[in-house]
Structure formats: structure tokens, C-alpha cells
Structure 1
Amino acid sequence: MSKKSLLSIFLVLLGCNIAFSQKSQLNVARNSIGKLQVAINNKQDVKKQLEVIGEGIRASEAAQKDKKTKKWPETWAIKAYLSSYVAIIDPDEGNSDKYFVSAKEAIDSAARLDKFQGNSKLIQASIFNINIKKQAKATSAFNNNDFTTAFGLLKEVSDFFPTDTTLAINTAIAAQNIRGFDNALIYFKRAKDNGIHNPTVFQNMAAIYTSKFENDLAIKTLEEGIKLNPYDTNLTNNYINLLLDHEKYSEAIKVIDNTLKTTTNNKLLYFLYGYLHQNNSNYSTAELAYNKALTMDENYFDALYQLGVAYVDSANEALKEKKSDSGQKFVSLINRAEMTLLQAHEINQNDKSTVQLLIDIYTRKNKLDKVQELKSKLEEF
């Protein structure tokens, strides 16, 4: 046999050995996935798991240098999976971040080459791990008040796990912190549509709708929240205040009336109930409501002031009745107004409205010394 023939045979064998070597490397990488699973099942420590993964990554990197195996999607899918796992378990943050980047690049290559989706499970598992890492990076950014980075990462993770309500809420909160209110609504709504009951979600959504002057949507959102959280005080108070802000007084009275049947220790609700009835000239109901609030807090300034106003208004109505006892009723109500407003004045001596009402009362009573004293005080404000 000639030297030329021998050389040709040698080159063919060498080529076969190289190809076999690269295929062997791919087998090593492939086997490392099984070894990793065994290590996980046996609850071996992170160091042991990283040793197994390191062997597989080195083998996959050797395979990716070969002209043939570098075109195989499995080469990149294995590297992507192993690298992504390092990214989520390695306690060394720098090393974790390095493999996070490496895994993303490998995922892109694997997805591009995997035209027949033969490695889709490995690729999806890698993407899952990458999103776990993104969530950890987002948490770190959020804790460092880097809400722009946190939102960008959380958005990607929430879009990957769309039914995770906690993720959706955190994404929305990050968006709020960078004043991305439209995005915040998208993710709060995602949490709501996936069954969240947390009252703060509904409160935040309503606040955003209100800021956008979409008041009907704000009211509807709070109504949905109350159905899920019928005894949440803050949610109910927000709803009532929103109704009041938009002059839906009759609806507000109904809500408060129903709420007071189960919630009897909320002074604000009694105050609002009294205020609404006072506006409808139902002074006796208003008086009862204010007094109920004052039994809970005797120094409740707003209740004292409005009760004083209610007595003054009732006194004026008594004079219009032109009955035999109208004068006596007027005096009694004005005296009550005086006592109540004096209590309010004692609590908040700088309130001009209280002082002015007392001046009016003392003027009617012809107590000019009191009038002058209060007018002098009013000028000091």
C-alpha cells in the first residue's frame, strides 16, 4: 500500500476521531443533566451541584466549537439550561450574573436553530430559570429604589407567569413608582382578573382612574372591591368619599346606612352620616349621628363643629315655624350651639369658622363684650 493511501486512511480516521470526540462531549453534557437531577433529588449541596453543572458546561462549550455539533440545537439548549441553573443557585453574584448573560445568549441560539422544536422542553426550562433570576434581580433593584429597572424586569417575569397575582401586583407598584400609571393599571387588572381579593389593589386602581378623571370606572372598581371585602373599612371609606366628591349623596347615605349595621365603632362613618343628613335638613338625625361619633371621641373637632352648625340651622328653622313655642325652642337650640361651639373652640382655637359662628351667636344674644373679644381674636389670625 502506498504512502499516499496510508495518509488518506489516517486522515479519515482522524476526522472520525474528532467527530466522535465532539459527539462524546455532547454526551457528557447531556449526561450532566441527569446527574444534576440526581444531585437535586438527593438534596446534595450547591457546591456538588455546581461541580456537576461545570462538567456539563465545559462539555457543551467544547461541542459548540465543532463545525458540526455547533449547529445542533441540542448543544445550545443544554448549555442554556445548565447556565441558567448556575444563574439561580450560585451564591457568587458576579458568577451568577455571568451565567445569566451566557444562558440568555444560548437560549437565543437554541431557539433559532431548533426549527423542529426537538429541544423545546430544555429551552422552556431554561427560560423558566432565567425568569426566576430576573425576579431576584428585580427584587434587588426594587429594594434599592431603582424602580425603572425593577419594572422592566418584573414586566418580563409577570408576562411569563401571567397568572401569578403577587408578581402582577409588584409589577404594578413598580410602575406606579415611576409614574407609569397606564402600565400600573394593566398589571393591577391582571391581578384582579386572576382572582386577587387584596383591597389595596382596588384602592390603587380607583385612585389611578380618579387621577385620569375616569370617575365611573373608579366607583365601579371600588364596588367590586367591596363585594370581595365587605368589612374593609379603608375600602368603604374611599368609596364613600368618592361618592361624596362627585355629589352622589343619596348613594353615599345608603352605603353608610348599610355599613353602620355591621360596623358600629367607626366615628368617621357616623360623622359622614350626620353631615349628609344635615345637608338634607334632617337635623335630628344629624344630631344623633354626631353625638354617636362624640361618644367614641369627645374631642372630635369636626363632629363638634358640625353639631354646632346643626343646632344653629335648627334654631333658624324654629323661628320660621311661627309657633307659640318657637321662641323658646330657638333659645334652647342657640344655647346648645353655643356650648358645643365653645367645646370645639377649646379644642382648636385657631379655627376661624368656629369663632365666626360664636360671634354671630353672641351678637344675637347681645353679648357685645364677648363679640368684641372674639373679633379681636379673629384679627390676630
Structure 2
Amino acid sequence: MKMKYFMLVLAGLAISITSFAQKGEVNNAKANYIKYTSLKGAPGADKLAAAALNDAKTAVDKATANEKTKADPVAWAYRALIYADLALADSVDSKTAPLVAEAISSQKKAAELDKDGANKALIESVPPMMAQYQFNKGVRAYNAKDFAKASAEFQEGLTYTPKDSVLTLYSGLMALYGKDYKTAIKQYSAAVANKQYSPEVFTTLSELYFTEKDTINAIKVAAEGSAKFPTNTGLAAKEIEYSLVAGKNKEIIDRITELVKKDPTNKYNQYYLGIAYNGMGDFAKAEEAYKASIAIDPAFVDAYLNLGGLIMDEAIIIYNATNKLPGSQQAQYVEGMKKANVEFERAFPYLQKTIELNPKSKAAFTNLKVYYQVKKDTDKLKEIQAKIDSLN
């Protein structure tokens, strides 16, 4: 009787030891993985980190293959993490693809087994790693100038982290680089829908719609962006430009004029009115509006730039037309050049003021270069060209 009892105790002890041994593999995998994460990226620790990760893989493979621990969600969660990091540690697609497949299947298995959600945080840390893996692939494709592949890789990353702002915008940007405008529109639209926007996102999306001859959406997006970023002059200018292209001259002028009436001290409204009149070819009213904007804010650099550019354009038109006159019309030539010079001189102080307010304004220096070309001032031309070159 005593012997039988002793044998039962020994049998129970053997089962306990075996179970503990396999549970030990889970703990071993966990310990080595934690060791790997602490060593990863540390100076001179690459070999130690790699060894720890490989030891973690060996242990977790044993744990998930054993009858005693193959239903343990922790084992599968760590297997997913370990395989994900193995994939991240390599850059050869043929080697990493099977590792990624194992990471994904292990993560799904862990989620299935984690009935009470006790390991939810651990399991949910895997998808961002897969997204990072796809991001790395996208960067490699970009470096190889394969923009279509880069966009596809970034989009694949979104299957793991659907609202990732970096992946969304990068996938759109790569599609833009690859001239896949429909995909670019889709991705930039997603960024706007996810409220991952900036003035540049709205501007790019508006331009994309315009490129695709969808003027209605080009105007709509520019208007939406302008409403969200009221001090961004570029977006408002896009809305005005595309509205004029669409033949909505009266509507846009009436709308801005109404804004001016409601808020006459708003420099932007006068500035936008100037852009609208300029786009319509009504230069006198455009000049008047720009001057009104400057009167409100004497340091409004954009208004100085546009006003100087507007007057320069008028001067160039007169100058070029005068140069085309036949030699028999000498009197008209002299009169034309006189008028052109008057306009060039009118533009000059606005160009100077622009540069004073913004010494890095390439547009202002370019206009100033034309001014000195007309004046045939070679010394100044060299000086201005050097400035332009330094801004490139």
C-alpha cells in the first residue's frame, strides 16, 4: 500500500517536472526576448542581441510545439513578437517573408487562445511591428526609385495600423511621385478624413484633383483647407485660381468683396481680392486691393511681393511690345520705353521692401534681376544672381 502510494507520488512529480520544464521554455523565450530588446541598438551589442533573439526563437518554438504549452497564449504572443523582430532585423525579402508569415499566424493564434484578454496589450504590440516592417520595405523601394512599389508597401502597412498618418501620407506621396494620381488622391483624401492634415496636404490634394481635371473637387478641397488654415495664403490663392479657371469670376469676386465689407481690417481679404482681380486681368483693381492690404499691415510681405510682381508684369508687357515696333516708329518707341521705365520704377520699391521683409524670397530677387537687366546694370546683375544661386 505504501509502495503504491509512493509510486503515485513519483508519477505526479514527474508530470509536474515535465510541465514545469515546458513552461520553463516559455519563460526562457520571454527572458531572452527581453534581453534582446534591451541590447538592440546598444553600441557594440549587435552579436549579443542577435544571439539572445535566436535563443528566444529556439525556446519559443519548443514551447509552441509541446502538448503542455501549445495552448498558452503567452507562448504564441512571444512567438509573434520574436518572429516579427527577426523579420525587422533583415532586409532580404526572400528571407523575411516566411518570418512575417509566422509572426502574423502566431499573433492570430495568440488572440484566439487569449479568451479572457489577459494578454491583449502584448498581442496588440505585434501589428505596429508589422507596419514598421512594411515601412522599411517602402523606404527601400523609394531609395531604389521604385515609387509604385514604395506606395504599395506603405499601403500594405496600413492593413496593420489603418490610420497611421506617416504610412497614409507616404503612400500618397509615393503615388504622386509615380504619377499614379488616382491612388495619390485616395491616400491624401484618407489623410484628410482621418484629420491628419496640414496646409500642404490640402494644397497637394487640391492640385491633384485639378491635374485630373476635377475642378469642382479642386475648389472644394482648397476652400476646406483655407477655412481650416485661414492665414495660409497659398490655399486661398488655389481656391481663387481654380474658381477663375472654372469661370466663376463673379462668384469669387462677390464672395471676397462681401468678406471685405464684413471685416474691412482683415488684410487677407484685401489680399485675396487682389489675387482674384489679378487673375481676371483687372490690374488696376488688383493693385488697389494689394495696397489696401499693405495699409492694414505695412509688414505683409506677400502683398508687397504680389504688388511688385504685378507692376513688373505690366512693365514687361509694355517693354516687350515697344521693342517689337519697327524702326520707322521712333517716336512711339521712345514714348513706349518711357512708360515701361515708369512702371519698372514703380515696382522697384515694392521689390526692395519684399526682400527687406524676407531676404530669402527667390521670387523677389528674380523680379529684381529683370529690373537690373532692363537697366543694363551688370554689377547689380551679378550681385542679384549670386543671391538667387545661394537660395537654390
Please tell me the TM-score bracket, short chain as reference.
Answer: 0.5 to 0.7
Q: Which protein is bigger by CA-based radius of gyration?
A: 1
Contact 2:130 2:157 in 1 (8 A): no
Deviates more, 1:159-168 or 1:239-248: 159-168
Counterpart Cα distance in 2 of 1:339 and 1:298: 12
Q: Is the 8 A contact 1:294 1:303 kept in 2?
A: no
| Structure 2 gap ranges (5+) | 261-266, 290-305, 323-331, 341-392
CA gap 1:294/1:83 in 2 versus in 1, 3 angstroms: closer
| 1:217 positional shift | 3.1
Tell me the equivalent position of 2:184: 184
Give, in whole Å, the separation in 2 of the partners of 1:95 and 1:285: 67
TM-superposed deviation, 1:47: 3.2
Displacement of 1:61 after TM fit?
0.9
Evaluate the alpha carbon distance shift between residue 21 and residue 164 of structure 1 in structure 2; reply closer, same or farther with a 3 A threshold.
Answer: closer
Establish whether residue 154 from structure 1 lines up as the match of residue 159 from structure 2: no
Residues 291-302 of structure 1 mapped to structure 2, 5 A cutoff: 293=309, 295-297=311-313, 300-301=316-317
Q: Does residue 279 of structure 2 align to residue 272 of structure 1?
A: yes
Match of 1:246 in 2: 246
Structure 1 partner of 2:110: 110
**Aligned letter for 2:31?**
N
Aligned partner of residue 68 in structure 1, secondary structure: coil
State the one-letter code of the partner of 2:51: E
1:204 paired residue number: 204
Residue 383 of structure 2 aligns with which residue?
none
Give the C-alpha shift of residue 80 in structure 1.
0.9
Structure 1 residues 211 and 94: alpha-carbon distance in aligned structure 2, compared to 1, 3 A threshold: closer
* 1:84 CA displacement: 1.6
What is the rounded CA distance, in whole Å, between the counterparts of 1:29 and 1:301 in structure 2?
77
Q: Which amino acid aligns with 2:75?
A: T
Separation in 2, partners of 1:199, 1:244: 21
Please list the CA deviations of residues 144-176 of structure 1 after superposition, one character each: whole Å capped at 9, or x if unmatched.
Answer: 243443333322434544554333221222344
Evaluate the alpha carbon distance shift between residue 12 and residue 232 of structure 1 in structure 2; reply closer, same or farther with a 3 A threshold: closer
Which position in structure 2 is the counterpart of 1:167? 167
Give the Cα–Cα distance (whole angstroms) in 2 for the partners of residues 35 and 91 of structure 1.
Answer: 22
Are the aligned partners of 1:260 and 1:269 in contact in 2 as well (CA < 8 Å)?
A: no
For 2:125, the equivalent position in structure 1 comes to: 125
- Give a deviation string over 1:222-280, Cα, whole Å, max 9, x none: 1122234455554344322211111111244465997584589x9x877435x147xxx
- Contact persistence 1:168–1:187 (CA under 8 A): yes
Structure 1 residue 77 displacement after superposition:
1.3
Deviation at 1:72, TM superposition (A): 2.7
Quote how far apart the aligned CAs of 1:78 are: 1.1
CA offsets 1:306-334 (integer angstroms, 9 cap, x no match): x9xxxxxxxxxxxxxxxxxxxxxxxxxxx
Equivalent residues of 1:209, 1:215 under 8 A apart: yes
User: Deviation of residue 131 (structure 1)?
Assistant: 1.3
Q: TM-score, normalised by structure 1?
A: 0.60
Q: Determine helix, strand or coil for the equivalent of 1:118.
A: coil
CA contact (8 A) 2:60 2:78 kept: yes
Number of the residue aligned with 2:23:
23
Aligned-pair CA distance for 1:107: 1.9
Paired residue total: 301
Match of 1:61 in 2: 61
Q: Where does residue 76 of structure 2 map in the other structure?
A: 76
The TM-score with structure 2 as length reference comes to 0.59
RMSD, matched Cα: 4.8
Against the structure 1 CA distance between its residues 99 and 301, is the aligned structure 2 distance closer, same or farther, given a 3 Å change threshold?
farther
- Would the alpha carbon gap of residues 231 and 303 (structure 1) be closer, same or farther in structure 2, given more than 3 Å must change? farther
- Give the deviation of 1:128 after TM superposition: 1.8
8 Å CA contact 1:253–1:276 kept in 2: the answer is no
Against the structure 1 CA distance between its residues 259 and 30, is the aligned structure 2 distance closer, same or farther, given a 3 Å change threshold?
closer
1:45-87 Cα offsets, whole Å, 9 max, x none, are 3433333222221111112222332233322211111222233
Distance 1:303 1:50, change over 3 A: farther
Residues 99, 147 of structure 1: alpha-carbon distance in 2 compared, 3 angstrom cutoff? same
Shift of 1:185: 3.4
Partner of 1:144: 144
CA contact (8 A) 1:165 1:190 kept: no
3-state SS of paired residue (2:70): helix
Displacement of 1:137 in angstroms is 1.0
Contact 2:172–2:184 under 8 Å retained in 1: yes
| Counterpart amino acid of residue 250 in structure 1 | K
Percent identical among aligned pairs is: 23
Corresponding residue for 1:221?
A: 221
Distance 1:221 1:193 in 2: 12
Shift of 1:221: 1.2
SS in 1 for 2:60: helix
Larger mean CA deviation between 129-138 and 69-78 belongs to 69-78
- Taking the aligned partners of 1:41 and 1:208, their CA distance within structure 2 comes to 40
Taking the aligned partners of 2:72 and 2:181, their CA distance within structure 1 comes to: 43
**Shift in Å at residue 140 of structure 1?**
1.5
Residues 303 and 185 (structure 1), Cα distance of their counterparts in 2 relative to 1, 3 Å cut: farther
How many Å separate the matches in 2 of 1:287 and 1:180?
37
Residue pairs, 1:277-292, within 5 angstroms: 285=285
